[in-house]
Amino acid sequence: METEHRHSGTGERGGAWRDDAESGFELSEVLSALSYVLDMIEGQPPGHTLRSCFIGMRIGECLGLGEEDRSALFYALLSKDTGCSSNASRVANLFGADDFAVKKDFKVVDWSRFSERSRYAARNASPDGGPWSKLRHLVSLGAKGQRGARQVVQIRCEQGAGIVRLLGFPEETAQAVYNLDEHWDGAGHPHGLRGEEIPLLARICGLAQTVEVFYTEFGPLQAEEMARTRRKKWFDPNLVDAFLAEARGGRLWKELASPDLLKTISRMEPPDRVQLATPERLDDVAYAFARIIDAKSPFTYKHSDRVASVTTKLADYMGFSQDEVRDQRRAALLHDIGKLGISNRILDKPTRLTDEEFEKIKGHTALTYGILVRVSPFRHLADLAASHHERLDGSGYHRGLSSKDLDTPARILAVADVFDALSSQRPYRSAMPLEKVFSILESDGHLDLEIVEALRLLIQRGEIQANA
Ligand SMILES: [Fe+2]
Ligand SMILES: [Fe+2]
């Protein structure tokens, strides 16, 4: 059985996989490619993170930061939005709206001012609902007030700092991400820190990201004007002065608009501190992004993590090599990364989805492919990760593949995914008992029965736990 599976499995891909993974990518290249996903979750146009990184690093250089600080700042700027999936569900729920739209608008208002905050709430609360629905959400938002806003920011900060630590970056980087939304005048979140109580790197990240949003939304002049207006309010006056000095003459804006921005950014990492995407680091990145994916909806809590664990056990049992198992684990961790592009109004909907909503959900596998194919060391996993809803009889999505196209890793991933989905609670049903899960896995003819059998055996042996 093992030989047969290895032949029908990753034999051909196997060689290419290791070549790719071992060819020494820089970590910043991997995070830059994945930063487009973070932009998407935060409702920002593609490139927001990269442009913020450029602006923040230029401010850091202006201040004469040493290599260690610049390295910590560089990774803080690239990972500043890693916590943003964790409050998406709450934001969608609070506003009764698409979380992407609410978050996008949030970045351009001065929410420390009551009048702007009220207009923002009125604009975003239940935009598609009737007047009663809007009123209900506005009353609820009013009741939660600043405390509610603080909680939403805090969830994001804690998750972001946790992800930064998982990625192996220094505590200065984690603190910069944690304190991203604090304001110089003490009106920020989550703790209302004031002035130099806010870590310097966090102050730089906060200014850089807001400048970027205004630059992209309204243009350079408005970005400069925003910084002047919020000087000593949101931002450290010294940093604003440094930024305005850099912006004077327009060279900063010209470089920011350059098609070579990605290359420019990779050169901003202090040369003696360039971090490489070693295999262990790539495992960390895949695991960290699985955490980001799973945080998007309360109903997918730990899903990617569990699918990866089941996949690893099955792949091991089927006799794949350690390198192949490692790749299959990474694909499993990232298989639902496309869900980060779907609104929580759909993901968390407790009632039946409309046809249009279901089509959007089905779009997540194509999105998974589109995301992974851009990340050099994960490119060879894009096909596998994106095929987890394909079925042996051709009834799956998004490409309608069938048994002749689906190799053993794809079949393992499909079984692991369905197994976890059925044995976990979902918005529209509770978790199923194990006998029922297996009766579905075995009876629908969509999945590889040999793998389902292996799963049953590994559960009996106690090597896989149902929804542990
Ligand atoms: Fe999926
Ligand atoms: Fe899944």
Residue 418 Cα, ligand 1 centroid: separation in angstroms? Answer: 9
Distance from C-alpha of 366 to C-alpha of 111, rounded to nearest angstrom: 36
Task: Among 273, 300, 317, identify where a domain stops.
Answer: 273
* Residue 96 within a domain: no
Whether the CB-CB separation of 443 and 452 falls below 8 Å is answered with: no
The verdict on 184 and 257 lying in the same domain is yes
* Residue 341 within a domain: yes
The verdict on 400 and 445 lying in the same domain is yes
Of all ligands present, the nearest one to the C-alpha of 364 is 1
All residue ranges of the chain with pLDDT < 50 are 1-22, 468
Distance from C-alpha of 153 to C-alpha of 181, rounded to nearest angstrom: 8
- Amino acid 55 reads I
Residue 414 Cα, ligand 2 centroid: separation in angstroms? Answer: 8
Residues less than 5 Å from ion ligand 1, measured at CB: 336
Residue 438 Cα, ligand 2 centroid: separation in angstroms? Answer: 17
Distance from C-alpha of 369 to C-alpha of 222, rounded to nearest angstrom: 37
The verdict on 248 and 261 lying in the same domain is yes
Residue 442 Cα, ligand 1 centroid: separation in angstroms? Answer: 20
Q: Which residues constitute the domain of residue 356?
A: 2-21+278-460
The verdict on 299 and 436 lying in the same domain is yes
* Residue 385 within a domain: yes
Of all ligands present, the nearest one to the C-alpha of 302 is 2
Whether the CB-CB separation of 32 and 78 falls below 8 Å is answered with: yes
* Residue 128 within a domain: no
Question: What is the per-residue pLDDT for 55?
Answer: 98
* Residue 444 within a domain: yes
The verdict on 13 and 31 lying in the same domain is no
The verdict on 231 and 297 lying in the same domain is no
Task: Among 273, 304, 323, identify where a domain stops.
Answer: 273
Residue 311 Cα, ligand 1 centroid: separation in angstroms? Answer: 14
Q: Which residues contact 194 (CB under 8 A, 6 or more apart)?
A: 184, 185, 186
The verdict on 73 and 204 lying in the same domain is yes
3-class SS of residue 43: coil
* Residue 138 within a domain: no
Residue 296 Cα, ligand 2 centroid: separation in angstroms? Answer: 13
Residue 404 Cα, ligand 1 centroid: separation in angstroms? Answer: 21
The verdict on 377 and 439 lying in the same domain is yes
- Amino acid 187 reads A
Q: How far is CA 9 from CA 43, 48, 308, 325, 354, in A?
A: 38, 39, 17, 11, 37
Of all ligands present, the nearest one to the C-alpha of 333 is 2
The verdict on 257 and 311 lying in the same domain is no
Of all ligands present, the nearest one to the C-alpha of 365 is 1
What is the DSSP code (8-state) at residue 26? B
* Residue 40 within a domain: yes
pLDDT in tens, 16-58: 334 444 457 899 999 999 999 999 888 888 999 999 999 999 9
Q: Give the residue numbers marked as catalytic.
A: 339
Residue identified by tokens 């809803």 is 389
Of all ligands present, the nearest one to the C-alpha of 363 is 1
Which CATH number goes with the domain that contains 203? 1.10.3210.10
The verdict on 254 and 332 lying in the same domain is no
Residues less than 5 Å from ion ligand 2, measured at CB: 336, 417
Write the DSSP string, 259-281: TTHHHHHHHHS-GGGPPB--HHH
Whether the CB-CB separation of 464 and 310 falls below 8 Å is answered with: yes
* Residue 137 within a domain: no
Task: Among 273, 299, 324, identify where a domain stops.
Answer: 273
3-class SS of residue 186: coil
What is the DSSP code (8-state) at residue 397? S
- 256 CA to centre of own chain: 24
The verdict on 312 and 422 lying in the same domain is yes
Question: What is the per-residue pLDDT for 120?
Answer: 60
Residue 344 Cα, ligand 2 centroid: separation in angstroms? Answer: 15
Residue 409 Cα, ligand 2 centroid: separation in angstroms? Answer: 15
Distance from C-alpha of 352 to C-alpha of 429, rounded to nearest angstrom: 11
How many structural domains comprise the chain?
Answer: 2
Nearest alpha carbon to residue 58 among 207, 160, 235: 207
Radius of gyration of the chain (CA): 23
Whether the CB-CB separation of 337 and 368 falls below 8 Å is answered with: yes
Question: What is the per-residue pLDDT for 7?
Answer: 31
Six token digits for residue 233 = 């309010």
Question: What is the per-residue pLDDT for 284?
Answer: 96
The verdict on 399 and 300 lying in the same domain is yes
Six token digits for residue 309 = 């664990």
